Amino acid sequence: MLRTLGKKSLETLSKRTACKTPVQKNAKKEFLPSFDKIYPDFLQTPVWNRRKSLKEEIERQDMLERRMNIDIPEFYVGSIVAVTSSDANLGSKEHRFVGICIRREKEGLLHQFTLRNTIENIGVEVVYDLYNPTIKKIETLKLEKRLDDDLSYLIDALPEYSTFDFHMEPQAHPAGNPIPVNACKVKLNNPPWIRRWEVLGYQGIDDTWTKATPWFKRKLAKTQINDYAKYDLIQSYRTSTPTEQQFFTQEEMKRFETERHSAGLTRRRILKSAAAHEKR
């Protein structure tokens, strides 16, 4: 009896592993490597004691339902975006703002992005909640990235780096091509600045160290604030979402999308990438 049971258990285990292996291989091929950059709102909070699986699941369902009602395009920090929102105080009842995306922050339903533009030599920044029901349309006029994931230093930069036409025509991005990276170096105004940009290690700023640091500190080669980060081996593990969790979220988005398509409720696609284009 024990020998027969052992043989049966080995046979069942071999069948299960044989069934699972091709699925995992195909799933890895379909996984978007830049999922955390395209969908930062679906990532987990970097504060570990605030990660609640039930809360995250409920928020993801609400976020997917919202994405079925409005087309949220792919955009990054550095992309030029236009947002049309409803405003009861205006005569046209709508307000359209065009600007460069300088920040994307927070997770889940609280995810926010900030647009900046210079209007009549005055810098204007508008913070939008991505899942705010008053947003009627989001357009990506120019899809590109920058050297940094945070462009808050544009507030101290020359106005020409954050000036965009409100009647700008959208530039189409060829499907399947990689997202272009704009490697321009921003020149800041003379200090004082709102923050000490010279010690924060930004790559998209042109020579802030010599402009803001006295000669005797430059002579001593004073280190920057985040120089210790290259010695911290688990910093990314503590502050980022694991790949397994990203894969699980992506599979949940695919399942939700196929259920709605099979029911005939909509043909809108949620999980999409301009760089990794696939025909369905």
Angstrom CA distances, 219 to 190, 208, 214, stand at: 21, 15, 9
- Contact in structure between 155 and 186 (CB atoms under 8 Å): no
Clarify whether residues 75 and 140 are in a common domain: yes
Other residues' Cβ atoms within 10 Å of the Cβ of residue 152 = 18
Clarify whether residues 159 and 248 are in a common domain: no
Question: Of the given ranges (29-38, 126-135, 225-234), which has the lowest mean pLDDT?
Answer: 225-234
Clarify whether residues 113 and 179 are in a common domain: yes
With a cut of 60, say whether residue 12 has pLDDT above it: no
Pick the last residue of a domain from 208, 223, 243: 208
Clarify whether residues 58 and 96 are in a common domain: no
Angstrom CA distances, 12 to 3, 15, 17, 25, 76, stand at: 14, 5, 9, 21, 47
184 is written with which tokens? 């321009």
Clarify whether residues 64 and 92 are in a common domain: no
Q: Residue 94 is part of a domain; what is its CATH number?
A: 2.30.30
Confidence of residue 20 (pLDDT cuts 50, 70, 90): very low
Q: 18 versus 44: which is more confidently predicted?
A: 44
pTM of the model: 0.81
264-270 LR contacts (CB < 8 Å, sep 24+): 265/68, 266/68, 268/67, 268/68, 268/71, 270/64, 270/67, 270/68
With a cut of 90, say whether residue 136 has pLDDT above it: yes
**Percentage with pLDDT > 70 across the chain:** 80
Q: Which domain holds residue 164?
A: 70-208
Q: Is residue 18 part of a domain?
A: no
Clarify whether residues 56 and 84 are in a common domain: no
Average pLDDT over residues 4-10: 44
Other residues' Cβ atoms within 10 Å of the Cβ of residue 215 = 8
Q: Is residue 94 part of a domain?
A: yes
Count of structural domains within the chain: 2
Q: Which helix (H) or strand (E) holds 250?
A: helix 243-262
Clarify whether residues 202 and 134 are in a common domain: yes
Pick the last residue of a domain from 208, 223, 241: 208
DSSP 146-177: ESSS--GGGGGB-GGGG---TTPPPPP--TTS
Q: Where are any strands of DSSP class E within the chain?
A: 80-86, 94-105, 112-119, 122-129, 135-142, 145-146, 181-182
Q: 115 versus 212: which is more confidently predicted?
A: 115
Q: Is residue 90 part of a domain?
A: yes
Pick the last residue of a domain from 208, 223, 252: 208
212 is written with which tokens? 């803001």
Q: Is residue 7 part of a domain?
A: no
Q: Is residue 183 part of a domain?
A: yes
At residue 124, φ and ψ (nearest 5 deg) are -120, 125
Q: What is the pLDDT of residue 229?
A: 67
Clarify whether residues 190 and 107 are in a common domain: yes
Clarify whether residues 82 and 190 are in a common domain: yes
With a cut of 80, say whether residue 1 has pLDDT above it: no
Q: Is residue 217 part of a domain?
A: no
Q: Is residue 49 part of a domain?
A: yes
Clarify whether residues 155 and 177 are in a common domain: yes
Clarify whether residues 76 and 198 are in a common domain: yes
Q: Is residue 43 part of a domain?
A: yes
The per-residue pLDDT for range 142-196, each reduced to its tens digit, is 999 999 999 999 999 999 999 999 999 999 888 888 999 999 999 999 888 898 8
Clarify whether residues 163 and 175 are in a common domain: yes
The per-residue pLDDT for range 29-78, each reduced to its tens digit, is 467 778 889 999 999 998 888 889 999 999 999 999 999 989 999 999 99
